[in-house]
Structure 1
């Protein structure tokens, strides 16, 4: 016997029995039957509605060898082929037929393998891609695939065929809207003739002898759960099918309780009031662990008098217990709570390890479908250690952009927290974390957001996230969240709540989303930022993260898309990019309003825009106080690979754009651009024995580019591992090939670069320049120094001055040794930051000769001993010797090391993710050889595996590998 949950509301309707997504004749087919399927394209997702071309069937079977719902077997044709044998016959009126001459024969299923179901998707044919699909209405359930049961020969079975249903893997009923006193049209069919009977709530309401079908108009007498049972008795065997459905009581209209807000409102340790914004909806019920996922009158939400909000107070909750729940909208649609702080995802959660997210509660399998929300009263609060963090001056930000997934193998906050020492040693004072609120899938970059208040569990728990932010603040590092509020995708409950399935887009009147995108380069569903509801949502989302997680600001993705100015056609295509990019007063007003909102909530928080728009609009936003991304990837990369004709990077200077404030975050690389080192090694030029594709040459030239970038006043952005010369393409695929379709694929994590001398040299350039920017003599230089420059040719130079400090960067980006003419801003002796070389400046034009790829950073004062440039730090220096015997190591292993000069000696144990696991200093040692038990230097309280042992002495290092068995 099968049981299905039927959800209904409202008044009397009858259903036409012919209105079915597919009709199958015979209705109870066995292996050898000739079967005719009639597909109605006007139903389901309507993906082929009014389509005029040929329609094909993509089909397979579920057999005794299938492991899950989507495990189709014996699929006879490939996807998107135009095989005539699988073309349907048009019957007119959006109806098509297809005949299968014997199920087992058609699918070529071996004898002895039981066939459980036939599986279908109906489709168009288009060799260039864009295939239209006819599926079930809910694409989130098994991708909308259609199924029909196959029965062993002679099976006695009963099937309820009305109210109308969709033949999903688990059939889904679409009930009529009824209230007490109304009728419901009901029909059931049987595979064998016998005594058929219908019961409503235990009472027989119709009976027919020797019948294979029975129909009845059942009178509904009570609200709440009703049960209809159809049965058939033949040859002493009774078989049946059960339909459970809910009849709603009238909705209670009652004002919102004082002080509640959208989402979950906790009230003490055992109660919570849920509030859902859903204007225009008729009724909402809460389903969850607290009512066994069954619709009942006790969990029907109250509606506010204005019809916009639904609310319900839950009581008698167990303190500290996690409860899963969903909203059931108008008896048919299930969504998660848009404001919940945790979700359960049946598709993606199984791939999250218990070490990343311990004790994750189980999804309520078999009780509901789709994403569910989680609430928990009496949660233990996180105890913050830093309560008054002083954010770095936004004009002095050195931002390091991180995609946690591709930065550390364990992709969790705890491991990233253990890596903060790496960021601090580099000198960065802010981290830009790519989106980490719940997004679709696990391996995404995060720009497909779904639940805006819930941290994505793929990166760990909410408290480990808070601990990471807290630790960053302890180390003087601000944390910036990449926030995506231009768009969402279909997993968003706000998209689902008002969705036009026939057009596969948000419905007109969706409070937050436009039916079609208004601007170019939109992905997902476009948000309407002139809507008062979207403005409120923006405020609520950002305020939540600022207060609950103490974030320091946001980088807003695709901020130029925050416009209702229509620059695309009525279908969201044929967009005029220039019109979209032109100055937009309405967009400026939106961003000024949002900026004011955030500053009122958290004064001094960072508002960073990925605007990339026309200069007069960006200048106005910058002057208002916002920071803006300045993408100089193309120009810097052209310079590093020797293509100097296209390499003028003066656009990275805010004053070159005639901005009044240094609010331009210029960068060479971000998550969205091809990696400079990769292009150097694959596209670099060569000449006169000079080859940029050589790794060491490419690294040196990237150091030259980094010197110029970091010499430019204003905030800067560094993409992860850029300081180590990361040289894998942005389009690297998981199999090692390069393809544009692999842009967001997992990328290799190369912490071993940190033990390579040539890459450490590049990192030291970054480190020296960042240290210079924080030096008290030069700090103001990088906030608002006066600049002079020539950044267009092969020999590039840049001078920056204040009343007391000055620098001059000079570099040869060409392929040959060249002379350049530069004018130092002041006469006198100048000092090269990197080499210590002295140069006497005349104060007038003078010639400097530089070999190809050579560069200098001259300062007007000698900072030797003032800032720790660490430029001369060496990995595997020959004057340092360290070994461990035996290795693989054990309790008896001895560390042997040699010191060539009196120095302070220290040891550090790191894993291959770059985490510092243990560190100790053994004190100042005179030149000589030393032996100590390894456990006395670094007690090895770590698991088995491969590690890196660093010996440090006078800025030099030696690195060896340790194996713990």
Structure 2
């Protein structure tokens, strides 16, 4: 019955009732008692739980109460429903509201012609939102709307956050995020979540999940979310929601097709002839099992999944491989492709080829300029996530220098370079323009921070994903070779910083055996540990005791040597090449297995290039480092703290004597990419003028350099240390881009520091006999030498050199002992100095040094 019809009926009943009354004093009135005035003005709202309330009013004549919703009496009960004139109390009882919506009903009071209508409401059953990600439907359906909720647990970075939260979200299709609604750093209203309560946010995908994502005919089986604050500094882990799609179904693979792996092929891309390629994918987990199907899609089959011979791969259980031979290919065409693998009752994923030399990345390639990477292949419409590329007819690079040998390898001066931050173009083009600068500085090796394909374009590079491909953010394959060739022509070696301790989740071996629930590699992954046994890991930890990992790493090392003619490697975090469980206090303990692993890799390198230079970031037990050094490897030696102390003018912890030992052959450094810059620390914590005066700061850094380059053994410089770069490592975030300051060289004090570096390196290069393990070397560089001056003495059979330094803020007259008397030369001025007594006084101003030699200077 409609409301108005019902009211008319009630009115008629009331009129009849009034007409029957013989009391002419009755009036048509309903007057609320004071305690019920609020109800008469605003109605009554109940919580979702059962409840009872009452209202009181005075009726001028006989009255009636009725609800205007048929069946409402099953939920809302009014007693009494009628009575005589006078003061009346009516009770209103509601049962529990079990729905997700607010319930409303109108209560109508009638006394003669007087009528009052009120709304009685009951709030919906409260939603119990658990911690983490939850949603409104028990089984989300692609063709229905879905409301998601997120309650931040106390461990969440968003806990107690009061700002705006956005959902970075997409459809997980074949192992990749598709139909992502906004870029990571893009804040769109569509993805803005509403805050329901402290730590609780919600977002509704409507009119349906499929329409919200505009996914068209793509099957929707799984949604992925990362919830973040406005700048992304606070975020959740990857979160997922399963979805049912009854409209579009995924491709159904045929039964496994058995076939013997062809001879003379390896995992990856095998060029058979000018029109034929065999692709091989290893797939055998630690339990001896494999996926239920494997197909390949790409340009050669128009990215169409099928069970045809040009798509479905053969299975060879003996080798543990899937394989397919593609025929009638164009030798001069680049082909993009992916593997499509999975289990019938589990997830299906798309994979790139771990051995490919080029990848296409739909999320990052568009941000690489055409000057850095001209004529890049367009990303294919049928691809999902990272795709691999091959070309049968490889470009034939002609090396100008094919037989480069490192000059004086045990006395290298290495320049550590991050291409991203070295020039304005952030790439190899810019670095090429600075090779003359580096040559004039005197360095004879360049160590490139990791250039193997890493996630994104803006990185230090310690997040590798494809090890045989070099990152396009810095240039093309030819550009890398041009740079290396040009370095060799300039007499400089090129060392690659390589990362084999870990890889990101984009690495095909990680994706192939993945635990989506925990967002990490699965326990049956034959390449990776689920969790690193050591405390230093990031991303996903390789198991270097796995023969598969050893085979992969050795193959990659040999490929880089052969393909790019590089001169050696700096291995990142070799302390982590272990399966022994450890803590920070025990990770450096002697580990025989770790030694054997590194020796195995070293042997593989030497097999291809006997003179290759190998550096380890190791920092382990001295016995272990000695064994590795005796095998021919070099080890990093971090002296940042001591040289920062002297740079700031503080004697505490400033001894230099840890810089040199003939075995291990340490690569000593004052700064690396990992440490705070000495020049920055001067500006913050320097003593007196070393904090406030640039000239004094640069002079002190010159003294540092004089007690660094004159010590035997290979040395490393972090880029721009020669200019006194004083931007903090934490500027723009530790691994974020740093500002360029090539204009530093226009400042006379910074230029003086640069020139000191150049002179000191030239001194090493021109007089190698002074810096060999057979020369006589002594030094007084401890904290006890601060007030009496610090000294270094070097002697060969024909030459002698003495370095004297004053790191203090007061001028000093120091007692100096010369190894021989006679004619000496001031290396900085070229002046002759007659030394008559082996022991004599030498005046050295504050923040200054002197170098005296028995041979003429060639400045």
Give the TM-score normalised by structure 2.
Answer: 0.74
1:23–1:38 Cα contact (<8 Å) kept: no
Counterpart mapping for 1:511-550 below 5 A: 511-550=526-565
Determine the C-alpha separation between the residues in 2 that align with 1:349 and 1:650.
48
CA positional deviation for 1:478: 0.7
Matched, 1:806 2:800: yes
Cα distance change on mapping 1:39 and 1:751 into 2, 3 Å: closer
Cα distance change on mapping 1:315 and 1:85 into 2, 3 Å: closer
Q: Which residue of 2 aligns with 1:265?
A: 270
Counterpart mapping for 1:346-365 below 5 A: 346-365=362-381
Any idea what the Cα deviations from partners look like across 1:531-563, whole Å, max 9, x if unmatched?
111110110110000001111110000111111
SS at match of 1:848: strand
Determine the C-alpha separation between the residues in 1 that align with 2:474 and 2:198.
45
SS at match of 2:251: strand
Q: Which residue of 2 aligns with 1:668?
A: 670
CA positional deviation for 1:754: 2.7
1:714–1:784 Cα contact (<8 Å) kept: no
Query: What residue ranges of structure 1 are gaps of 5+ in the alignment?
Result: 1-19, 42-46, 88-97, 105-113, 137-145, 147-164, 168-172, 174-187, 189-240, 568-575, 734-741, 870-965
Any idea what the Cα deviations from partners look like across 1:277-304, whole Å, max 9, x if unmatched?
2212333110111112122222211222
SS at match of 1:644: coil
Any idea what the Cα deviations from partners look like across 1:379-438, whole Å, max 9, x if unmatched?
221111112112223202111111011111112223322321111111111110000010
Q: Which moved more, 1:631-640 or 1:384-393?
A: 384-393
SS at match of 1:555: strand
Determine the C-alpha separation between the residues in 1 that align with 2:181 and 2:476.
29
1:55–1:123 Cα contact (<8 Å) kept: no
Q: Which residue of 2 aligns with 1:166?
A: 243
Determine the C-alpha separation between the residues in 2 that align with 1:269 and 1:36.
52
Q: 1:500 aligns with which of 508, 515, 524?
A: 515
Q: Which residue of 1 aligns with 2:749?
A: 758
Q: Which residue of 2 aligns with 1:277?
A: 282
2:427–2:474 Cα contact (<8 Å) kept: yes
Counterpart mapping for 1:435-450 below 5 A: 435-450=450-465
CA positional deviation for 1:121: 5.0
Counterpart mapping for 1:87-102 below 5 A: none
CA positional deviation for 1:790: 1.0
Matched, 1:245 2:251: yes
Q: Which residue of 1 aligns with 2:29?
A: none
SS at match of 1:272: strand
Q: Which residue of 2 aligns with 1:718?
A: 717
Cα distance change on mapping 1:845 and 1:414 into 2, 3 Å: same
Q: Which residue of 2 aligns with 1:322?
A: 334
Matched, 1:135 2:239: yes
Determine the C-alpha separation between the residues in 2 that align with 1:122 and 1:555.
35
Q: Which residue of 1 aligns with 2:777?
A: 787
Q: Which residue of 1 aligns with 2:137?
A: 23
Q: Which residue of 2 aligns with 1:288?
A: 298
Determine the C-alpha separation between the residues in 1 that align with 2:578 and 2:681.
35
Any idea what the Cα deviations from partners look like across 1:607-644, whole Å, max 9, x if unmatched?
10011223222122112211111111110111111011
Q: 1:633 aligns with which of 636, 640, 652?
A: 640
Determine the C-alpha separation between the residues in 2 that align with 1:264 and 1:29.
41
Q: Which residue of 1 aligns with 2:738?
A: 747
Q: 1:309 aligns with which of 303, 316, 321?
A: 321
Q: 2:357 aligns with which of 315, 335, 341?
A: 341
1:675–1:729 Cα contact (<8 Å) kept: yes
CA positional deviation for 1:746: 0.8
- Structure with higher Rg: it is 2
1:343–1:454 Cα contact (<8 Å) kept: yes
Counterpart mapping for 1:173-192 below 5 A: 188=246
Cα distance change on mapping 1:60 and 1:425 into 2, 3 Å: closer
Counterpart mapping for 1:102-501 below 5 A: 135-136=239-240, 166=243, 188=246, 241-243=247-249, 245-254=251-260, 256-279=261-284, 280-297=290-307, 298=309, 299-306=311-318, 308-330=320-342, 332-365=348-381, 367-501=382-516
Determine the C-alpha separation between the residues in 2 that align with 1:553 and 1:73.
50
SS at match of 2:840: strand
Give the TM-score normalised by structure 1.
Answer: 0.66
Q: 1:796 aligns with which of 778, 790, 794?
A: 790
Determine the C-alpha separation between the residues in 2 that align with 1:692 and 1:54.
40
Q: Which residue of 1 aligns with 2:685?
A: 683
Determine the C-alpha separation between the residues in 1 that align with 2:502 and 2:709.
33
Cα distance change on mapping 1:449 and 1:375 into 2, 3 Å: same
SS at match of 2:252: strand
Query: What residue ranges of structure 2 are gaps of 5+ in the alignment?
Result: 1-133, 170-178, 216-222, 285-289
CA positional deviation for 1:784: 4.0
Determine the C-alpha separation between the residues in 2 that align with 1:84 and 1:460.
45
Determine the C-alpha separation between the residues in 1 that align with 2:268 and 2:675.
38
CA positional deviation for 1:763: 1.4
Cα distance change on mapping 1:515 and 1:24 into 2, 3 Å: closer
CA positional deviation for 1:647: 0.7
Alignment RMSD: 3.5
CA positional deviation for 1:604: 0.9
Q: By percentage of residues, which structure has more strand?
A: 1
